[in-house]
Chains A and B, each alone.
Chain A
Amino acid sequence: NAGVTQTPKFQVLKTGQSMTLQCAQDMNHNSMYWYRQDPGMGLRLIYYSASEGTTDKGEVPNGYNVSRLNKREFSLRLESAAPSQTSVYFCASSVGSGRALLTQYFGPGTRLLVL
């Protein structure tokens, strides 16, 4: 099992460019999450998908969109990148959410630099 995979590992963008971060899990998990990690701030939730076909905003959704393509895949899109979006992005998945929340499993991360 690969667990949670993310592509790309590293990306440099210019301000205003767009890109999509890809995430896939092979654990048959229902719930998937996107976080950003900034120095000294821990991880902050951008968007999550409690189940296939649903998505909800997290703590810091502005400037991002997501798509739950199927049960395995959950992508994060930056339509017009800004320097403030320079960060490390982590995708995670769990068996369930809400009252059935169990351990979240994280991917290796995507390091994004916006110039």
Chain B
Amino acid sequence: GDSVTQMEGPVTLSEEAFLTINCTYTATGYPSLFWYVQYPGEGLQLLLKATKADDKGSNKGFEATYRKETTSFHLEKGSVQVSDSAVYFCALSDRDAGNMLTFGGGTRLMVKP
């Protein structure tokens, strides 16, 4: 079946540092890929998405590129802020699996001033 693997956290960075959160996937079909963010005490919000190979999703300074050859969708940000502290989830949606979302385990990011 489909699966998503993320780097385990927590990831602790100083403000203005560069962020990378790794995400790799396995899927039977040709999935769409997503990053969701969960701020403390809140539900998940879509951060960005990509629907085909080499697409780059971007939002709020975050970026991720759909790499079919390496089955990866790594999340990056050039300069993190304290307000970026949250849990980040990588997910996929596979048309051959009914388009349901499959989530990774989540990566907690803590940004210190």
Contacts and interface: CB of A to CB of B under 8 A. Distances in A.
Interface of A: 4, 40-45, 48, 58, 90, 92, 97-99, 101, 103-104, 106-109
Contact of B106 (A42, A58, A104): A42
A91 to B, nearest CB: 8
Contact of A101 (B43, B89, B99, B106): B99
Interface in B88-112: 89, 91, 93, 95, 98-101, 103-106
B25 to A, nearest CB: 12
A99 B99 contact: yes
Contact of B42 (A98, A101, A108): A108
Contacts of A41: 105
B37 to A, nearest CB: 11
A100 to B, nearest CB: 8
Given A101-B93, A109-B43, A43 B103 contact: yes
Size class of the contact patch on chain B: 20 to 34
B95 A99 contact: yes
15 contacts: A4-B43, A40-B106, A41-B105, A42-B104, A42-B106, A43-B101, A43-B103, A45-B100, A90-B43, A90-B44, A97-B100, A98-B98, A107-B43, A108-B42, A108-B43
B64 interface: no
A48 B100 contact: yes
A106 B43 contact: yes
Contacts of A92: 43-44
Nearest to B8: A40
Contacts of B105: 40-42
B101 A104 contact: yes
B46 interface: yes
Contacts of B4: 42
Given A98-B99, A108-B42, A43 B93 contact: no
Nearest to B98: A98
Contact of A103 (B41, B46, B89, B99): B46
